[in-house]
Amino acid sequence: MIGRQMKELLGMMMIGEGVTGAIAPRRHMRLWNTGPKQFRDITKFFEKRPKLVTALAAAEIGFGVWLTLRQLRR
């Protein structure tokens, strides 16, 4: 039961994070520009490519919906 709840929660978080990334991709990537240099370099890479971030966000939303629905069907 706990595993299903955690997977559903993960799906819901992915949906929300994906929507945020799709609405404002550059701003969303700037929010993550902290931590080690390698991580900041990755976020800068994505910040310069908002269309890529939007596409990845759409995939994240789709996966989050699939994961959540899968938990609800059981």
pLDDT of residue 16: 96
Residue-range domain boundaries for the chain: 2-73
Across the chain, mean pLDDT equals: 94
Amino acid at 35: G
CA atoms within 13 A on the CB side of 61: 13
Q: Is 6 exposed, middle or buried (0-12, 13-18, 19+ CB in 10 A)?
A: exposed
Write out pLDDT tens, residues 26-36: 999 999 999 99
DSSP conformation letters of 37-55: HHHHHHHHHHHT-HHHHHH
CA pair distance 40, 26, nearest whole angstrom: 14
